[in-house]
Amino acid sequence: MADKRITPSPISLLPLSLEHHAAALQQVYRATPGYWQMYGLPSSPAGQAEHDLREAAEMPDRYLLGIVRRLVADDPQAGGELIGLVDFRLHWPRPKTVYLGMIMVAEPYQRQGIGTQAWLLLRPWLVETAHMSRARVGVAQFNIPALKFFQSLGFTLTGESNRIRSGTKWVRLLYMEQALEEESGGESGGL
């Protein structure tokens, strides 16, 4: 008979706060220089994590969740390390729609399925607890890896786009969406 044990996810999602997580989030930002370079910056701006955490705390229904990797795979009590971020806002731009601001994974951990695992942990909560029916994301048109990533998760281009200013640069966002009802899959439960 085959072993039917469920393998625990090697990551968890943790609500981030300014008081406890600014330094660790800034470290994640420093570990993703390629992201900042796409926007013409040499690296993450000093104080960016504090700015983002403060802004999220002041915005209704916006959440910053840390992607935490277990230090010992089968022992959650051994502690964890912040290796990424999921930034999202509920009921925006429409009721029952969640807008994903970003799923960021520190470069040493990219291409290991961690962003996908984070989405699979978050998605059931969005459906069952937050009662979202659609997910939406805006991806910079030049960020081909992000476009492919969200397509791999089942997001499809809507045909909508928008130009936004990012620093000194104009960026075209391409919008993608996914229906969330029924097929939430993944683990159920709280964050």
Q: 191 pLDDT band (50/70/90 cuts)?
A: low
How many domains does one find in the chain?
1
Structural domain including 152 reads 11-179
Q: Given the structure tokens 């930002």, which residue do they identify? A: 29
Please indicate, yes or no, if residue 6 is contained in any of the structural domains.
Answer: no
Q: What is the CATH number for 156?
A: 3.40.630.30
Sign of the C-alpha dihedral computed for residues 40, 45, 49 and 51 taken in this order:
negative
Interval 153-179: pLDDT, tens: 999 999 999 999 887 789 999 999 999
Q: Which residue has the tokens 């960026």?
A: 171
User: Is 120 part of any domain?
Assistant: yes
Question: How far does CA 170 lie from the centroid of its chain?
Answer: 23
**Structural domain contains residue 4:** no
Q: pTM for the complete prediction?
A: 0.88
Instruction: Tell whether the torsion through CA atoms of 125, 127, 130 and 135 is positive or negative.
Output: positive
